[in-house]
Amino acid sequence: MKYRRLGKTGWNVSELGHGMWGMGGWSGSDDDESMKALHLSVESGINFFDTAWVYGNGRSEKLLGQLVKDFPEKKLYISTKIPPKNFKWPMEPTFTLEETFSSSHIKEYVQKSLKNLGVAQIDLVLLHGWDDIWAKDEQWQKTVLELKQSGLINAFGLSIDRWEPNNAISAINTGLIDAVEVIYNIFDQAPEDKLFAVCRNMDVGVIARVPFDEGTLTEALTIKSKWPEGDWRNLYFGPENLQPSLDHLKSLKADLPAGTNIPELALQFILSQPAVSTTIPGMRKTENIKKNIIAMEKGKLSDQMIQNLRKHRWDRKPTSWSG
Ligand SMILES: NC(=O)c1ccc[n+]([C@@H]2O[C@H](COP(=O)([O-])OP(=O)(O)OC[C@H]3O[C@@H](n4cnc5c(N)ncnc54)[C@H](OP(=O)(O)O)[C@@H]3O)[C@@H](O)[C@H]2O)c1
């Protein structure tokens, strides 16, 4: 396993982290299978785990709590997220901080997550969404300092809303942000425009999420793809997005040698970017962990390949279905 520094936290986190949304909330999740996958991750040297209260309303956090208990001798970095009080995504500039991340709400959910995780301190707490119009509001700033002083959290950051990578830059510039989580993959290259430079200047760790565009870059989708009722992917890969996703994948593949391993290329693309500290594919199955470790070990792509992939950038605008 290879490790990188997570910004000013100074932690050495594995380049391949473990995303835990699917095992909390997607259909087809099986806790025994998820625990086996998590164990394999730890045994392989993965030490960064990304969860959230909302991933199964505590289910994913409880799995992570069990994992930490199963490996008392290992330092496993826990990253979890506080949902907005109104439980609405994406954030709207019309929402107030009181409606989303009031001080009492943040503190209440830190306590809930501590309980689910069964730990006395959470390594990294992220707000699960953000609008930069709140950056100068002292309410959240004071809350962060209080939570750190009380020892309940070690580091604090923001999970930046989908397809809005610049919508946290003012908050980062306050100096109170230790790490951000942002969508970055072969399609979503926009964090390279501004965000990564700001993170580097402010020594903020970057957690690159959704490396496979929720599944497009795993090549598992077809035009008939549908999931059981309640699975969020029915919304994301609905009529407006499924065909365009398949079209973008097709055009990517047409530009690459036949037989190119797309998921492997996707992870290598992300890890070729020096601003990225870790990437966190969702992995419920041990076979996917093994494949993703191979990709991580292959390391950076050639400059020529990166240039080729630049053509496949796909800028999208947040919508009601993008979450
Ligand atoms: N902050 C936020 O608002 C937010 C939003 C989205 C995601 N996230 C975080 O980012 C993580 C990653 O995003 P995601 O899980 O939504 O999507 P993703 O990582 O883009 O895709 C996950 C899918 O890829 C499959 N997979 C993993 N490795 C594979 C491989 N080598 N070959 C083929 N398939 C493979 C997984 O299968 P299995 O699961 O069956 O193994 C799962 O179906 C989440 O788990 C979560 O921790 C955060």
> By the 8 A CB rule, do 273 and 301 touch?
no
* Domain 3-310 classification at class level: alpha beta
Q: 3-class DSSP state for residue 279?
A: strand
CA atoms of 144 and 253, how far apart (whole Å): 45
Tokens of 312: 């496949």
CA angle 25–62–128, rounded 5-degree value: 55
- Which pairs with CB-CB distance under 8 Å and at least 24 residues apart come from 320-323? 321/235, 321/236, 321/238, 321/240, 321/241, 322/90, 322/162, 322/163, 322/236, 323/89, 323/90, 323/162, 323/232, 323/235, 323/236
CA of 145 to the centre of ligand 1 (A): 32
Percent of the chain with pLDDT over 90: 98
- pLDDT for 323: 81
pLDDT in tens, 228-260: 999 999 999 999 999 999 999 999 999 999 999
Q: Average pLDDT for residues 137-149, to the nearest whole number?
A: 98
> By the 8 A CB rule, do 80 and 53 touch?
yes
Given pLDDT bands bounded at 50, 70 and 90, which one contains residue 322?
confident
Cβ–ligand 1 contact at 215 (below 6 Å): yes
- pLDDT for 282: 98
Give the atom of ligand 1 at the shortest distance from the alpha carbon of 219. Answer: 33
State yes or no: pLDDT of 124 exceeds 90. yes
Given pLDDT bands bounded at 50, 70 and 90, which one contains residue 13?
very high
Its pTM stands at 0.98
- pLDDT for 41: 98
- pLDDT for 320: 87
Listed in sequence order, the residues at least 6 apart from 142 whose beta carbon sits closer than 8 Å to its beta carbon are: 103
Tell which residue, 195, 208, 233, has the closest CA to residue 50.
208
Q: Average pLDDT for residues 83-92, to the nearest whole number?
A: 95
Q: Average pLDDT for residues 292-298, to the nearest whole number?
A: 98
- pLDDT for 91: 93
Mean pLDDT (the chain) is 97
Cβ–ligand 1 contact at 131 (below 6 Å): no
Best residue among 283, 284, 298 to mutate for probing ligand 1, ranked by most atoms within 8 Å of CB: 283
Tokens of 231: 């699975």
